[in-house]
Amino acid sequence: MAGIIRILEEHSSRSSFTKEPIALVSENGSGNGSITKRPFPFCGANLPYDTPRGNAAYVTRELVSTYLITHPHLDHLSGFVINTACFTQTESPKRLAALPSTIEAIKTHIFNDIIWPNLSDEECGVGLVTYQRLPEAALEYVEVCSGLSAQAWPVSHGHCMKSHYHRGSQTYQGKDGMTTDRSPGGSRKKMCVYDSTVYFIRDDATKKEVMMWGDVEPDSISLSPRNHPAWSHAAAKFHKGLLNTIFIECSYDCNQPDEALYGHLSPPHLMDEMSSLARIVVGLRKADEIEKRGKLKRKRMSYGYHNDDPDIMARRTENPNAPPKILEESHNYHGTSPQEDEVNEIYGNSRWNKNHLQVDSKHKFDRFSPEISPRAVDPKGIDFFDTINLAIGQRTPEEMVPPGGGRDEAFDLGPSPLQGLHLVITHVKDTLLDDVNVPEDILRSLQGLEAVQQLGVTFSLSEQGGSLYF
């Protein structure tokens, strides 16, 4: 509620609520420092009270129906718990939507009549909150409130400092070769990787989406790298023009060492993740180009079959017994066509469509496996698609690296492959020192890295009381 109150305090009179004023908004992150007139965030809400506090309570009680929680750490949950004081006298319970493991943690450790009263509608609670358990990485969208649907993808938020097992977490053996041990009861213990969530939230009317990340660590140093399936899904949405805004954390500045990230991102790692997204987007565009060329060729072949091709007519005049050119081209097409050769050259032997990588049924693999991380095989820069091929046993690392150790020119990203994508930076950990502005330092670092990599991404900082339009 504090952020809502802060927004409303900028419009101090009741008349400003009802007349739908225009707010002056600075274009942070755009580089030009321009000022734009934009509507007041709660235009049309018919806020009924005279004070920001009263209207903030009204927004919380009447207008917000669902809360999507990425993981049960207190900095992501405490605001929801404290604000349950506003959940009384509502027509229906507030919905808390999350992965099943997150809801289980909240039930066990928060709404347990010890840390906080059981306000849920389960296990004899008072019924102010109802739980919605979201399926993990299901391709269909689940309605979370009227007009909005969501997908939930599990990602990794670092690992615990000791070997044990968390219910609901996805654990893998560490890169350092740490072996599992056994407790006296016979249960296996592993280095525990803590689960977080990234949400795709869709406006059902327009099909437009935003992508919202909880706390997340980079795939390159994760014991359980799981960002790449979410990036692959985001790339397909961006490629179709359905996704142009991503909320993602960048907790630390460039000075934070990898061993002290504690499951978070810094500017170099965030830009590394953006490069992974850009490679997938470029792959989608190349696949589209190949498909279009194939359609044009099939169209020309169809014309030849109807004797519209002058070359065919000339050959028939010279030698009436000669096989039509269409049969020769059909043999090329239905055998190993130039289009298929080009696909294989770019993507290896994997079958590709515009949305997903597909492989023959005999090559089954877990898409959450660390073996198919963009950098889990070789940090020298083997691509996502090459790593897929390695995971299903089609090529060795030596075969994937071109002669001389350079990168295949087919994966040249070109200028601004992510042009039009807006990243909103969240979860900055401020040092609270007088002479340090960590959020601005992180923003400048990201803009500097973008100037070098030229991916086409724009950045802005999320700030309490701020408003974003996309």
pLDDT in tens, 363-382: 333 333 333 333 333 334 44
Residue 228 pLDDT = 96
Q: Where in 164-230 does DSSP place strands (E)? A: 181-182, 188-189, 191-203, 209-213
Q: What is the pLDDT of residues 69-122, one digit of tens each?
A: 999 999 999 999 999 998 988 889 999 999 999 999 999 999 999 999 999 999
Residue 307 pLDDT = 45
**Distance (Å, whole) CA 398 – CA 379:** 13
Q: What is the pLDDT of residues 211-249, one digit of tens each?
A: 999 999 999 999 889 999 999 999 999 999 999 999 999
Q: Is the pLDDT of residue 318 over 90?
A: no
Name the 3-class secondary structure at 158: strand
Residue 327 pLDDT = 42
Pairing of strands 129-133, 142-145: unpaired
Question: How far is Cα of residue 255 from the mean position of the Cα atoms in its chain?
Answer: 25
Residue 60 pLDDT = 92
Backbone angles phi and psi of 349, in degrees to 5? -95, 5
Q: Is the pLDDT of residue 403 over 90?
A: no
The dihedral built from the CA positions of residue 215, 102, 80 and 230, taken in this order, carries a sign that is positive
Q: 466: closest CA among 143, 26, 103? A: 26
DSSP letter (8 states) at residue 436: -
Higher pLDDT, 360 or 151: 151
Q: How confident is the model at residue 393 (pLDDT cuts 50, 70, 90)?
A: very low
How far, CA to CA in Å, does 211 sit from each of 63, 200, 271, 439, 456?
Answer: 22, 5, 16, 21, 18
Q: 27: closest CA among 40, 41, 37, 18? A: 37
How many Cα neighbours within 13 Å face the side chain of 197?
A: 26
**Distance (Å, whole) CA 274 – CA 270:** 6
How far, CA to CA in Å, does 438 sit from each of 164, 422, 427?
Answer: 34, 20, 11
- What average pLDDT does range 57-61 have in this prediction? 92
> What is the pTM (predicted TM-score) of this model?
0.71
What sections of 177-324 are H helices per DSSP?
Answer: 227-239, 267-305, 310-318
**Distance (Å, whole) CA 43 – CA 22:** 9
**Distance (Å, whole) CA 233 – CA 277:** 10
Task: Give, for 440, the enclosing helix (H) or strand (E).
Answer: helix 438-453
**Distance (Å, whole) CA 13 – CA 253:** 40
**Distance (Å, whole) CA 66 – CA 149:** 11
- 435: number of Cβ within 10 Å: 5
- Mean pLDDT is lowest, of 4-13, 322-331, 376-385, 432-441, for 376-385
The dihedral built from the CA positions of residue 7, 9, 14 and 19, taken in this order, carries a sign that is negative
